[in-house]
């Protein structure tokens, strides 16, 4: 009985196609740029991103073909903000209540977490809920409130407001060196 051998060129081509498929649809690697996610993710560190964490997206678009989950508080996500890939932690998701206060300094409460705000950040965010000294409101459907772990070095939802989850590219699942 004779065994059939595949030519090396065909094996190489299958390997390249499989790698392209995985990169386009399943996983991606992103390099952290900046200090906003320290101490968990340091500047220059590479992370592996699961593109299928929340659904199957049409490649190179923001459209999900099938969505089977939504981001949860605590997830670290990669998303597009102003044309740049951004890595932040999800502090609150759609339907969760955000409470803004200017008593004893400026702060926002998302779930059980109280997050300090600058006067400028408070002014930008309080516009969403009206000009009172205390504001409460639910995050709209399809949005999340994203924060850097290092608040002093982070430009995040405190500065630009909630992020649309359709702009999410995937969930960080592994951090390398």
What pLDDT is attached to residue 98? 83
Mean pLDDT of 158-164: 91
Grade residue 64 by pLDDT with cuts at 50, 70 and 90.
confident
What pLDDT is attached to residue 155? 93
How far apart (Å, rounded) are the C-alpha atoms in residues 50 and 28? Answer: 7
Give me the percent of the chain exceeding a pLDDT of 90: 48
What pTM did the predictor assign? 0.84
Q: DSSP assignment of 66-84, as one string?
A: EE-----TT-EEEEEETTE
Query: With 70 as the cut, is the pLDDT of residue 1 above it?
Result: no
Instruction: Assess whether 126 carries a catalytic annotation.
Output: no
Q: Is 56 left (phi over 0), alpha (psi -120 to 50) or beta?
A: beta
Q: Which of 2, 33, 36, 101 is catalytic?
A: 36
How far apart (Å, rounded) are the C-alpha atoms in residues 132 and 135? Answer: 6
Q: Which of 51, 88, 154, 157 is catalytic?
A: 88
Instruction: Assess whether 157 carries a catalytic annotation.
Output: no
What pLDDT is attached to residue 130? 62
What separation, in Å, do the N-terminal and C-terminal C-alpha atoms of the chain show?
A: 49
Closest of 154, 163, 145 to residue 80, by C-alpha:
163
pLDDT 10s digits, 74-98: 999 999 999 899 999 999 999 888 8
């Amino acid at each position: 009985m004779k065994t059939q051998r595949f030519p090396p060129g065909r094996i190489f081509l299958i390997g390249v196609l499989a790698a392209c498929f995985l990169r386009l649809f399943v996983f991606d690697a992103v390099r952290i740029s900046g200090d906003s996610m320290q101490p968990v993710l340091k500047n220059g560190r590479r992370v592996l991103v699961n593109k299928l964490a929340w659904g199957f997206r049409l490649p190179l678009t923001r459209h999900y073909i099938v969505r089977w989950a939504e981001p949860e508080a605590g997830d670290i996500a990669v998303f597009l903000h102003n044309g740049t890939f951004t890595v932040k932690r999800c502090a609150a998701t759609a339907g969760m209540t955000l409470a803004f206060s200017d008593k004893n300094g400026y702060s926002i409460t998302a779930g059980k977490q109280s997050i300090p705000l600058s006067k400028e950040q408070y002014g930008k965010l309080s516009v969403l809920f009206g000009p009172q000294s205390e504001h409460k409101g639910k995050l709209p459907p399809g949005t999340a409130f994203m924060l850097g772990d290092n608040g002093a070095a982070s430009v995040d939802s405190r500065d630009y407001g909630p992020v649309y989850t359709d702009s999410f590219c995937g969930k960080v699942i592994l951090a390398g060196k």
